[in-house]
Amino acid sequence: MKKSSLLILFFVLLSNSALLLAQTEPEDIKLEVNKFQDYFFEALKQKGIENYDKAIVSLEQCLKIEPENGTIHFELGKNYLALKDYKNAYTSFEHATQIDPTNKWFWVGMYDVNYATKDFNNAIYVINKLIGFDAKFKEDLTSLYMSTNQYDKALVVINELDETSGKSDRREAYKAQIFSQGKYQNAEIANLLAQIQAKPGEESNYLSLIFLYSKNNETDKVLETAKKLELAIPTSEWAQVSLFKTHLDNNDGEKAVKAMNIALASAKIDSKIKHRILNEFLIFVNTNPQFEPDLEKAIAYFDNDPDINVAKEIGKFYQTKKQWVSAVSYYELANKKGSEVDIETNLLLLQAYTETKQFEKLTKNAVEMIDIFPAQPQFYYYAGLGCNQLTQFKKAKDILETGLDYLVDDPTLEINFNIQLGEAYSGLGDSKKKEFYFSKANQLLKK
């Protein structure tokens, strides 16, 4: 196909050359044309077997016959490019464009050299010429603007392509890179708001806007945008965030649970919003305890959360309400969810066991914690308290006395230790020691 096209080109060149030569010299014309064809086909043959130097020699012979033949300069450029002689390659392609600026491939040759040499600034000039031939080259223009840190210009082209061609993963990645620099965010927010108004059925614009608001911790604006999305596209996963809130406000627990589960399961919705949903549902469950099983199921969505143990936080919520039974169940759940033993969770659980008078569990758990954290005096205190309540006074005394060795600068805990030691010695019938520790606790209380 290429060879037949070239033959047509040569016949055109032949006729053009003939017009320039005297009509009285037909044999000379024929001779020149034959030489031109011979050199050119020899150049193609040598290039085909990667003898680029020999191909260049033949093409230079062609130029002696046709010095302003754009195709020959183009072929020279390709051979120089193959040899990585970028300077001569660019000069050859550039000369070709000067002869025939309407040939797209001559400009492509220049662009290939710019790309190979990473001369992105000059490539921008060339690619703008190529856009005149094919608008698809605008995709390359966005990459060039990004490579030269011309983010303002890149954003203009990206938004134009999003409008005319639809969004692409690469352009979205470019936008994320641009918006990592805050000064561009306001312009994009304004652009997205305009796009939403113009095309309310385009979900991606809402999601991009939500992403920007979320990144700026503008949670109220996130929810406001989700509400707009819900009105425009009720089936959207992000729309469930707004629907969830609406159902809670209407005290419709069943519909709220359905919307919540869709939102929590969505990979599109960021964790900050998911935590907010769970917190709002927790407050709802506090006055509507029949939905507590749904709360427990919701926690499973956060099993892989690296930052927050959700069950622990729910336990704290119930503890502040002095709803100790619920606090116990969530602290126990938090221990099962956590990949590592957490001191704070277990101290909270021990306090909840104490409040609910589950002294066997209290003692067993506290002793286990002593084995894991032998320098933490709080665990000795809870173990001693549990043993006293179980009338295991000798064991309580031994544990508490050991724990005192680790106690440093904690007056409240020291008071509690002395009270429990007084209880232990009381149980052992040692009234002298009992009075000693109770008296010491009183003295500390007076300070």
Q: Does residue 125 have a pLDDT over 90?
A: yes
Three-state secondary-structure class, residue 319: helix
Residue 234 lies in a domain: no
Helices (H), 169-252: 169-179, 185-198, 203-215, 219-232, 239-249
Is the pLDDT higher at 346 or at 30? 346
Question: For 74-83, what is each residue's pLDDT tens digit?
Answer: 999 999 999 9
Average pLDDT of the segment spanning 251-257: 91
CB atoms within 10 A of CB 272: 12
pLDDT score of 361: 96
Average pLDDT, the chain: 86
Task: List all residues 6 or more positions away from 397 whose beta carbon is below 8 Å from its beta carbon.
Answer: 384, 421, 424, 425, 428
Average pLDDT of the segment spanning 254-270: 89
Q: Does residue 23 have a pLDDT over 80?
A: no
CB atoms within 10 A of CB 306: 6
pLDDT score of 22: 39
Q: 93, 116, 139 — which closes off a domain? A: 116
Of 302, 367, 372, the closest CA to residue 337 belongs to: 302
Q: Does residue 21 have a pLDDT over 70?
A: no
E strands in 187-266: none
pLDDT score of 30: 55
The rounded distance, in Å, linking the Cα atoms of 428 and 27 is 133
Average pLDDT of the segment spanning 38-54: 91
pLDDT score of 31: 65
Is the pLDDT higher at 83 or at 212? 83
Average pLDDT of the segment spanning 48-66: 92
Q: Does residue 242 have a pLDDT over 90?
A: no
Positive or negative CA dihedral for 72, 78, 82, 86?
Answer: positive
Position 187 confidence tier, pLDDT thresholds 50, 70, 90: confident
Could you tell me the CATH number of the domain that includes residue 4? 1.25.40.10
DSSP H/E element including 272? helix 271-287
For residues 181 and 161, is the Cβ–Cβ distance under 8 A? no
CB atoms within 10 A of CB 185: 16
Q: 116, 149, 184 — which closes off a domain? A: 116
Lowest mean pLDDT among 40-54, 337-351, 383-397: 337-351
Q: Helix and strand tally (H, E) in the chain?
A: 25, 0
pLDDT score of 5: 38
Q: Does residue 355 have a pLDDT over 90?
A: yes
Is the pLDDT higher at 334 or at 24? 334
Average pLDDT of the segment spanning 94-109: 95
pLDDT score of 9: 41
Positive or negative CA dihedral for 146, 150, 155, 158?
Answer: negative
CB atoms within 10 A of CB 208: 24
The rounded distance, in Å, linking the Cα atoms of 19 and 169 is 55
pLDDT score of 229: 86
Average pLDDT of the segment spanning 213-220: 79
Residue 324 lies in a domain: no
Lowest mean pLDDT among 15-29, 158-172, 328-342, 375-389: 15-29
Position 304 confidence tier, pLDDT thresholds 50, 70, 90: confident
Lowest mean pLDDT among 39-43, 181-185, 435-439: 181-185
Rg for the chain (alpha carbons), in Å?
Answer: 40
Three-state secondary-structure class, residue 18: helix
Lowest mean pLDDT among 130-139, 156-165, 206-215, 393-402: 206-215
Using CA atoms, how far residue 333 sits from 299, 313, 363, in Å, is 10, 11, 19
Of 245, 242, 233, the closest CA to residue 204 belongs to: 233
Residue 238 lies in a domain: no
Residue 423 lies in a domain: yes
pLDDT score of 246: 81
Residue 270 lies in a domain: no
pLDDT score of 19: 38
Position 195 confidence tier, pLDDT thresholds 50, 70, 90: confident
Per the structure, how many domains does the chain have? 2
Task: Answer yes or no: pTM beyond 0.85.
Answer: no
Residue 278 lies in a domain: no
Q: Which domain holds residue 38?
A: 1-116
Residue 211 lies in a domain: no
Task: List all residues 6 or more positions away from 175 whose beta carbon is below 8 Å from its beta carbon.
Answer: 155, 158, 188, 208
Two tokens at 331?
Answer: 């602290």
Lowest mean pLDDT among 10-19, 35-44, 144-153, 283-292: 10-19
Residue 335 lies in a domain: no
For residues 10 and 36, is the Cβ–Cβ distance under 8 A? yes
**3-class DSSP string for 283-306:** HHHHHCHHHHHHHHHHHHHHCCCC
Q: What is the DSSP string of 113-138?
A: HHHHTT-HHHHHHHHHHHHTT-GGGH
Position 444 confidence tier, pLDDT thresholds 50, 70, 90: confident
Position 32 confidence tier, pLDDT thresholds 50, 70, 90: low
Average pLDDT of the segment spanning 329-341: 83
Q: 86, 116, 146 — which closes off a domain? A: 116
pLDDT score of 332: 92
pLDDT score of 2: 34
